[in-house]
Amino acid sequence: MTSATATPIYYVNARPHLGHAYTTVVADAVCRWHRLLGHETHLLTGTDEHGLKVLRRAEQNGVSPQEWTDRLVESEWKPLLETLDIANDDFIRTSEPRHETGAQAFWQDLHDRGEVYKGEFSGWYSVGSEEFVADDDVLDGEGDDEGFKISALDGSRLEHVTEENYFFPLAKYQQRLLDLYEQNPRFIQPESARNEIVSFVRRGLKDLSISRSTFDWGIKVPWDEQHVMYVWIEALLNYVTAAGYGVDEERFDRLWPANIHLVGKDIARFHAVIWPAMLMAAGQPVPHRVFAHGWLLVGGQKMSKSKANGIRPDELVDVFGSDAYRYYFSRALTFGSDGSISWEDVHARYHAELANGFGNLASRVAAMIGKYFDGALPAPGDLGPAEQAIVDLVREATTTADAAIEAVAPQDAVAAVWTIVEALNGYLTEQAPWAVAKADPHDPRLATILVTAAEGLRALAVLLNPVMPRACAALWDSLGGAAIGELSDQRIADVATWGQIPVGTTITKVPSLFPRIETETPA
Ligand code: MSP
């Protein structure tokens, strides 16, 4: 069975900002780790292209919605994946025929099972978040929003809608959903999101309007051409249409149910309430887990396009590089909580942790093997207690990091691996190979120390590869990793096995992995 991971699919009303890239980077790092465990993995991401929000943005720009989404997907959203070195296996656009076919098949199935009915909807709708807002959550706008109704959920402006629509009988799934959360406590995580969802469902659910009939930028309801699917109901289906639902049974069996959906907490309800209810209604298994992460805050506010505080990922990557970007977002924030980010913090961590901590370690070791052994890895002597402590630490840190990845706590995984960086730096300071060489260039300790450091770096190249693939590939090359095999073929289980780099392997000088950067803030 494949371990399938998915990010949300992103609205293409605007360019991506760091908030969007956050989920994708973590999803990619988690998947890359799973690959190193030897698991068959699959990473899905994509774009959510229908609905009023995208339609209106296209209209404002004077182009058809299809032209608009084609342009943005090609110029912004797909290139973002390259910029961030995302190794996704699939990219689904909801305007693709495969999605339309699968979504219509799913709807037809719901209809055939009596899980859809027609009714009249009258209430409030937020185009900003593409959701129906209950009367209790409607507020009178103030300031710029004077004269408008706004949503208590996210402050977006509301529009009143009265339409004949199709409905999904969500209310009747209340108990089955509560049973799901009870029987599978990991279904929705972290605990804060789980508590929020459980109490939301306990308060009772209302049936959901799932089609719109006043515009046509969407997928037609298969039995009624006057209606398009409500964009959220259609978007959630991407997870199964990309897996081949209704089209490719073999693929669907392999990829569904997904192992995990990673989402922001603002969309946890859609994923942990509506989505499993739809799957239950269609007789399909639900995903194993939904993990809701927190928000990136800038100056204390959620980063978002509408607040114009959205920094673009490529602005950071241009200065710090994609590895540092991936490192920062995996390490500096706690995945399930909100966290503040700033350019200054990226800058500070880049220098302290990457340039001085990791990069410097790698270059020092390669330089010393160059200087004292003409770049050929010497044969080590017996391991003493200091060396054994490094081997033990690598083993423990690997176990801790693996458990952290399983708990979707990338920050803890990286912190665990970083204990190796720190221990190796401390080991070199204590063992002072330069002093050993000065005292007696033939002292066998010199080889033992440098081989221990090189083996430690080998372990780091594997363990950090999911987060910093470029730097780790360069480090692997410098350590003559080809003599061991491809970096991507290494396994987490073997990381702490010492003596993998053959004696005599040429260790080359590492190109500066994290060169110093002078810019303090964006130009
Ligand atoms: N299209 C829907 C998702 C459909 S999935 C079937 C959507 N798109 S979105 O582009 O608005 O947001 C996508 C993701 O980006 C969400 O998980 C959201 O939480 C995340 N982020 C957007 N701004 C964010 C921050 N400031 N911080 C962290 N993540 C945030 O919702």
- Domain-located, residue 410: yes
Tokens standing for residue 432: 């002072």
- Residue whose Cα lies nearest atom 18 of ligand 1: it is 264
Mean pLDDT of 278-287: 98
Count of structural domains, the chain: 1
Ligand 1 centre distance from Cα of residue 265 (Å):
9
> pLDDT class for 59, splitting at 50, 70, 90?
very high
Rounded CA separation 68/58 (Å): 6
The answer to whether residue 102 sits within a structural domain is: no
User: What is the average per-residue pLDDT within 187-199?
Assistant: 97
pLDDT tens digits, one per residue of 80-97: 999 999 999 999 999 999
Angle, helices 410-431/322-331, rounded to nearest 10 degrees:
110
How far apart (Å, rounded) are the C-alpha atoms in residues 323 and 80?
A: 14
Give the ranges where 465-498 is alpha helix by DSSP (H).
469-478
| Nearest CA, atom 12, ligand 1 | 10
Tell whether 435 is covered by a domain: yes
Q: What is the distance in A from the centroid of ligand 1 to the CA of 379?
A: 52
Q: Do 354 and 513 touch, CB atoms closer than 8 A?
A: yes
* Angle at which helices 360-373 and 444-464 cross, to 10°: 150
Report pLDDT for 498: 97
Query: Please, what's the b/e burial string for 399-428 (b: 16 or more CB within 10 A of its CB; e: otherwise)?
Result: ebbbebbebbbbbbbbebbbebbebbbebb
Q: Is residue 518 very low, low, confident or very high in pLDDT (cuts 50, 70, 90)? A: confident
> In the prediction, which pLDDT does 299 show?
80
Judge whether 426 lies within some domain: yes
CB-based contacts of 440: which residues, under 8 Å, 6+ apart?
none
Q: Residue 399 is inside which H or E element, if any?
A: helix 385-406
Q: Report yes or no on 57 lying in a domain.
A: no
Residues 6 or more apart in contact with residue 428 via CB below 8 angstroms: 361, 364, 365, 449, 453
State which ligand 1 atom lies nearest to the alpha carbon of 238: 6
Q: Could you tell me the pTM of the whole model? A: 0.96
Q: What single DSSP character describes residue 358?
A: I
Ligand 1 pocket check for 261: Cβ under 6 Å: no
Nearest CA to ligand 1 atom 25: 19
Pocket test residue of 7, 18, 48, 271 for ligand 1, highest count of atoms within 8 A of CB: 48
Q: Is residue 490 part of a domain?
A: yes
Question: Is 429 within the bounds of a domain?
Answer: yes
CA of 266 to the centre of ligand 1 (A): 7
Portion of the chain with pLDDT greater than 70, in percent: 98
Which of 7, 10, 232, 274 should be mutated for ligand 1, with most atoms under 8 A from CB? Answer: 10
Q: Which has the closest alpha carbon to 491: 419, 398, 414?
A: 398
DSSP 13: T
Domain that holds residue 422: 343-494
Q: Please work out whether the CB of residue 181 comes within 6 Å of at least one atom of ligand 1.
A: no
Q: CA dist 295 to 242, 303, 329, 499, Å?
A: 27, 8, 12, 43
Contact between residue 513 and residue 364 where contact means Cβ atoms under 8 Å apart: no
Residue 433 placed within a domain? yes
Across the range 377-405, mean pLDDT stands at 98
CA distance 2 to 89: 12
We report the CATH number of the domain holding residue 368 as 1.10.730.10
Average pLDDT on 63-75 reads 97
| pLDDT band for position 324 (cuts 50, 70, 90) | very high
Distance, in Å, from the CA atom of 72 to the CA atom of 76, rounded to the nearest integer, reads: 5
Pairwise CA distance, residues 122 & 130, whole Å: 16
**Nearest Cα to Cα of residue 411 among 400, 395, 421, 420:** 400
pLDDT at residue number 303: 74
pLDDT tens, residue by residue, 204-246: 999 999 999 999 999 999 999 999 999 999 999 999 999 999 9
